[in-house]
A and B are shown apart, each in its own frame.
Chain A
């Protein structure tokens, strides 16, 4: 009972209500466009058709297979990219010599979009599963390494001085002062990493993938199945938003000590 009222109250919050209305507005606008005289319903399918396609794809099992295939790639690529980025970013931002070694590499990689590596990765690794995961990992790596390094450079000197006067070794200052106080930056980077990861996912699956949401979108487009393409796009959007929310919640739980107001 209390749970129901709790849920009701959450749904009734202005942020949720207005947000839902704003999404409805986008759908209505699209619908109006689809209903314009002279519009080809096969190319601009109206919302009910899209919904129908969604149900069909779900029933046939194709949607699930493709979603699972994509999620596997994203999660593995994300885990590898994020772990490397956090470790290297933290070292580069904190220890002078690690910075000397890593900063030029990080800064040289910074302006290069991860998708530019696709031809290289294909030539070197082939077109199998590993190359897709590598591309996703590369795309995830960049925003996280840059944020992690920035977070370590912003650590307040007062905490470092306090730890040093209390007898902490260099490593202890790194592990117990620098890392925890940079966590908000790590979270920010990891959230950006979710979206760049999905971006790379679709691109990676456009190259000869046998399954996945990117493959589904691409394949449907070649057969003018715009409805299937739109279903795929929506599923990617929803999955991305869910992952981002998860990252954000995990981040908030990890920074419960902070009284700084964070983005919603």
Chain B
């Protein structure tokens, strides 16, 4: 279940990670993630896909140290993380740009927190505002920007902090199709120019195929690593890539894997979300093991 065993110490690794949530008055907690093992080498663009509720966002938050797993650990450069790992950048699904700060103040927030001197901060702000195409909006407040532009601010803010790894949690889920496509190209461009490792959670197959080197497919209830798929799609990728036969083939392969994961996860088609089904999953995890 390793993504790539050849690269020595992985940039980010997950070892024996299991997580349970207490839900309401239930005596038995709900297992959301079970025995997750991952190794993500330096510089790779990894997408995590899975049905909604499979725990993919929870997994990402644990990689960032925003949540602590019930069992197991996350290793960054071979060292177990404790608490929020501030060497990693995080782009949230929700709008997380600080509305009370201007665009440039948002972008310099990370460097400022780390005590980067002013002239260096100014250089960073100028560089990253331009890199995401917001050079002329530096003095604007977020409320004056569109949803897509706010996501650009979020990306610039994350990159300006020079994170070692970028974790993105369905960052473009709320955007319209056109804006989403533009943002995906922007992310690829940033990735190509910085060579930083990216872990990107999504439920959108097109997005995963377009962005990823490797796609991790999670099954549901409990979330387990169902498959790790190398994406054969060639780089560089652009608009034309989206309508190529290669793209369609890669997407089909992913779709099949996802369907497989669903069946094995024991939640066919439209499973009823009841206490009954969750209790089953908890009390008998063996039955859903692949």
Task: With both chains docked as a complex, state the minimum distance between the C-beta of A53 and any C-beta of chain B, in angstroms.
Answer: 49
Q: Is the CB of B64 within 8 A of A257?
A: no
Q: Is the CB of B143 within 8 A of A159?
A: no
Kindly identify which residue among A165, A177, A183 contacts B98, using a CB–CB cutoff of 8 Å.
Answer: A177
Q: Is the CB of B66 within 8 A of A169?
A: no
Task: With both chains docked as a complex, state the minimum distance between the C-beta of B171 and any C-beta of chain A, in angstroms.
Answer: 12
**Alpha-carbon gap, A93 to B143, bound state (A):** 27
Of chain B, the residue at the smallest CB distance from A168 is B113
Q: Is the CB of B109 within 8 A of A166?
A: yes
Give residues 88-104 of B contacting A (CB, 8 Å). 88-90, 92, 94-96, 98-101
Interface bits B81-93 vs A (CB < 8 Å: 1, else 0):
0001010111010
Collect the chain B residues with CB atoms within 8 Å of residue A181's CB.
100
Q: Is the CB of B86 within 8 A of A162?
A: no
Interface bits A197-212 vs B (CB < 8 Å: 1, else 0):
0000000000000000
Collect the chain B residues with CB atoms within 8 Å of residue A177's CB.
98
Q: Is the CB of A167 within 8 A of B161?
A: yes
Interface size grouping (class) on chain B: 20 to 34
Interface size grouping (class) on chain A: 20 to 34
Task: With both chains docked as a complex, state the minimum distance between the C-beta of A258 and any C-beta of chain B, in angstroms.
Answer: 6
- Cβ of A72 under 8 Å from chain B: no
Give residues 109-158 of B contacting A (CB, 8 Å). 109-110, 113-114, 141-143, 157-158
Collect the chain B residues with CB atoms within 8 Å of residue A259's CB.
99, 143
Give residues 135-189 of A contacting B (CB, 8 Å). 158-159, 161-169, 172, 176-177, 180-181, 183
Kindly identify which residue among A161, A180, A257 contacts B141, using a CB–CB cutoff of 8 Å.
Answer: A257
Of chain A, the residue at the smallest CB distance from B89 is A165
Q: A158-B92, A258-B143 are in contact. Are A164 and B66 (CB under 8 A)?
A: yes
Q: Is the CB of B84 within 8 A of A164?
A: yes
Collect the chain B residues with CB atoms within 8 Å of residue A257's CB.
99-101, 141-143
Kindly identify which residue among A165, A183, A256 contacts B86, using a CB–CB cutoff of 8 Å.
Answer: A165
Collect the chain A residues with CB atoms within 8 Å of residue B157's CB.
166
Q: Is the CB of A161 within 8 A of B92?
A: yes
Task: With both chains docked as a complex, state the minimum distance between the C-beta of A13 and any C-beta of chain B, in angstroms.
Answer: 25
**Alpha-carbon gap, A259 to B19, bound state (A):** 38
**Alpha-carbon gap, A166 to B89, bound state (A):** 7
Task: With both chains docked as a complex, state the minimum distance between the C-beta of A170 and any C-beta of chain B, in angstroms.
Answer: 11
Q: Is the CB of A166 within 8 A of B161?
A: yes
Task: With both chains docked as a complex, state the minimum distance between the C-beta of B105 and any C-beta of chain A, in angstroms.
Answer: 9
Smallest CB-CB A-B distances: 9 pairs: A166-B110, A165-B90, A162-B96, A259-B143, A167-B86, A180-B100, A167-B113, A168-B113, A257-B100
A161-B92, A183-B100 known; 19 other A-B pairs, CB under 8 Å? A159-B96, A159-B98, A161-B96, A162-B90, A163-B109, A163-B113, A164-B66, A165-B64, A165-B88, A165-B89, A166-B86, A166-B89, A166-B157, A167-B113, A167-B161, A180-B98, A257-B141, A258-B99, A259-B143
**CB-defined A-B contacts under 8 Å, sample of 23:** A158-B92, A158-B95, A159-B96, A159-B98, A161-B90, A161-B92, A162-B98, A163-B109, A165-B64, A165-B66, A165-B88, A166-B113, A166-B157, A167-B110, A169-B113, A176-B109, A180-B100, A181-B100, A183-B100, A257-B141, A258-B100, A258-B143, A259-B143
